[in-house]
Chains A and B, each alone.
Chain A
């Protein structure tokens, strides 16, 4: 065995207590770092999962535009205009072709048309304003996974019963409606239609549960006094939601309609996500750095204690590099011990938390073993350990043996 390693090993094992304390610091720092970052990923996943119960990754729709002047303003000609939003039909022309075009793109998982009708839910004297989402039941289920949050009834009945309706749990409570009851809807166009409640959904998001319901696309078109080609929204899901903005841009140029990604549509929520990310990253990183200081301190102490050893080693022909190797080896050994311990402890913490039932729409605590975060933690942990060890080692390598011997 190399003599430098041998000396480092002896120092580590002859002072087990110090080694253990330093390694413990790394264990705590590492485990908290990995744990917090996995938790953040879990939170993000859970938040977006609950969001995607009611919104698609990308929404393609016909946006209103502001009128533009026919001729341009120039030095010779002054154009005075009063720009206005031009009222136009908000339907997507030839929705089937648009859907087919979008589907041909890469990374697209589902495309489905949707018609949103503003309605009143009537039950005797009580009336609630809401939105009836006209959907194709199978495609909508693929997109939002509606069956996973059905509280009662069967979403599939929507396919067989053209006048069926799946209502949010909030509406069901207020309307005192249960499965099999009739529910009267009045649309903004004044159409009155009675539906049969076939299911009750519960997303636990009161904004959704209290106002929205699912009906067949064709019926929604009837409610709005429109033809079968009337489609207001084309909803698109992509394979990786993180790519939604990029793909939305492509779809926008491709179709000529406005395509909006979910992040753009929920900017304030995204800002909250970002803030959470910054805070967690900052806190967890600080904890790792503190662990680094632990190693730094203990190695500094070791260097002071072993100053005589360092002097004699240098006198006997050990180079500055050798001394650095001895102490950096010590630091890295402590780091490796700490990293192994940290990974085990983080895995333990995550396992415990994973099995805690929170309730609500979250269910079990949203945390999982994230390999990338583990890897990141290990790499950062080792880098910090290295530098925490390198600084005292550098100091040790500069010890002037003569000044020690002449004391």
Chain B
């Protein structure tokens, strides 16, 4: 198994309003195909860590490796390319572009990547929507769907470029248990069948317990 993500001594400070160390010497590795949950109380630093791992937050000390590549100190454009190609995101809120159809929303990251022709991308997007049981909603505007459906479209969008890593910030936070289960099962299938790696921050204990590995954080440190 390949190491997909590795951190070495990540430290982060908040400077405002007072200097405060949010993360203390975080070092861990994530293997390909792992389904990892990060848990911890509010303020434990788990979300902060997730955003550092996502490469969107570059204000930290230490080293970050994604797909065995040291991405620390890369400029924003280079990081954007890495995110586009290798990372999919699912948030608590769906963040779909309201004026676009579901299909188009799913297609956008792939169109940005430009690896396939538009026609192929459309086929692939349909496929992803089918996996999430939304093929019949594809041509509706994103804003016309229910909350659970929107979250599933967001997951389809995260999958479109077949990313190595899928990061979730409370991906089931706004969903009822039925939809939560759908999301969880989808994630699990992705790790089992497609060897994609999932890192999810969650407050949902059931969700965490069912995942492969749990990282628990407290006061900026990994305790388990």
Complex-state Cα separation, A6 to B107, whole angstroms = 12
Contact B80 A318 (CB under 8 A): yes
Q: Which residues of A, 3-25, contact B by the 8 Å Cβ criterion?
A: 3, 6-7, 10-11, 14
* CB nearest neighbor in A for B58: A402
**Contact of A6 (CB < 8 Å), options: B51, B83, B111:** B111
Type the 1/0 row for B67-85, where 1 means its CB is closer than 8 Å to any CB of A. Answer: 0000000001100111111
User: A321-B77, A401-B56 in contact; A316/B83 too (CB < 8 A)?
Assistant: yes
Contact A3 B108 (CB under 8 A): yes
B104 to chain A: closest CB distance in Å? 8
User: A315-B56, A319-B80, A321-B77 in contact; A309/B85 too (CB < 8 A)?
Assistant: no
User: A317-B109, A318-B112 in contact; A405/B91 too (CB < 8 A)?
Assistant: yes
Complex-state Cα separation, A312 to B83, whole angstroms = 11
Q: Which residues of B, 41-90, contact A by the 8 Å Cβ criterion?
A: 47, 51, 54, 56-57, 76-77, 80-85, 89
Complex-state Cα separation, A318 to B47, whole angstroms = 22
Any B CB within 8 A of the CB of A304 = no
Type the 1/0 row for B142-160, where 1 means its CB is closer than 8 Å to any CB of A. Answer: 0000000000000001000
B54: which A residues are within 8 A, CB to CB?
315
A316: which B residues are within 8 A, CB to CB?
83-84, 89, 108-109, 112, 157
B90 to chain A: closest CB distance in Å? 11
Of B23-31, B93-101, B125-133, B202-210, the one contacting chain A is: B93-101
Any A CB within 8 A of the CB of B169 = yes
Which of B93, B95, B109, B111 has the most A CB atoms < 10 Å from its CB? B95
* CB nearest neighbor in B for A317: B84
Any B CB within 8 A of the CB of A308 = yes
Complex-state Cα separation, A6 to B100, whole angstroms = 10
Contact A311 B95 (CB under 8 A): yes
Complex-state Cα separation, A322 to B111, whole angstroms = 13
B40 to chain A: closest CB distance in Å? 15
Any A CB within 8 A of the CB of B113 = yes
B100: which A residues are within 8 A, CB to CB?
10
Type the 1/0 row for A291-313, where 1 means its CB is closer than 8 Å to any CB of B. Answer: 00000000000000000110111
* CB nearest neighbor in A for B110: A3
Any B CB within 8 A of the CB of A320 = yes
A89 to chain B: closest CB distance in Å? 83
**Count, A-B residue pairs, CB within 8 A:** 64
Contact A402 B56 (CB under 8 A): yes
Any B CB within 8 A of the CB of A246 = no
B45 to chain A: closest CB distance in Å? 12
B143 to chain A: closest CB distance in Å? 10
User: A402-B56, A402-B57, A406-B47 in contact; A317/B80 too (CB < 8 A)?
Assistant: yes
Contact A405 B77 (CB under 8 A): no
B200 to chain A: closest CB distance in Å? 14
Contact B112 A11 (CB under 8 A): no
Contact B113 A317 (CB under 8 A): yes
B84: which A residues are within 8 A, CB to CB?
316-318
* CB nearest neighbor in A for B52: A402
Complex-state Cα separation, A3 to B116, whole angstroms = 13
B108: which A residues are within 8 A, CB to CB?
3, 7, 313, 316
User: A317-B83, A318-B80, A402-B56 in contact; A308/B51 too (CB < 8 A)?
Assistant: no
**Contact of A315 (CB < 8 Å), options: B47, B77, B81, B83:** B83
Q: Which residues of A, 237-288, contact B by the 8 Å Cβ criterion?
A: none
Q: Which residues of B, 100-126, contact A by the 8 Å Cβ criterion?
A: 100, 108-109, 111-113
Q: What would 11 more interface pairs be, CB under 8 Å, given A314-B80, A406-B51? A: A11-B99, A308-B93, A312-B95, A315-B54, A316-B84, A316-B157, A317-B85, A318-B80, A402-B51, A402-B57, A405-B51
Report 28 cross-chain contacts, Cβ distance below 8 Å, ordered by A residue: A3-B108, A3-B111, A3-B112, A6-B111, A7-B97, A14-B99, A311-B95, A312-B89, A312-B97, A314-B80, A315-B83, A315-B89, A316-B83, A316-B89, A316-B108, A317-B81, A317-B83, A317-B84, A317-B109, A317-B112, A319-B77, A319-B80, A400-B56, A401-B56, A402-B51, A402-B56, A406-B47, A406-B51
Q: State the 6 A-B residue pairs at the shortest beta-carbon distance, nearest first.
A: A317-B84, A14-B99, A312-B95, A3-B111, A316-B109, A317-B83
Question: Which B residues contact A (CB, under 8 angstroms)?
Answer: 47, 51, 54, 56-57, 76-77, 80-85, 89, 91, 93, 95, 97, 99-100, 108-109, 111-113, 157, 169
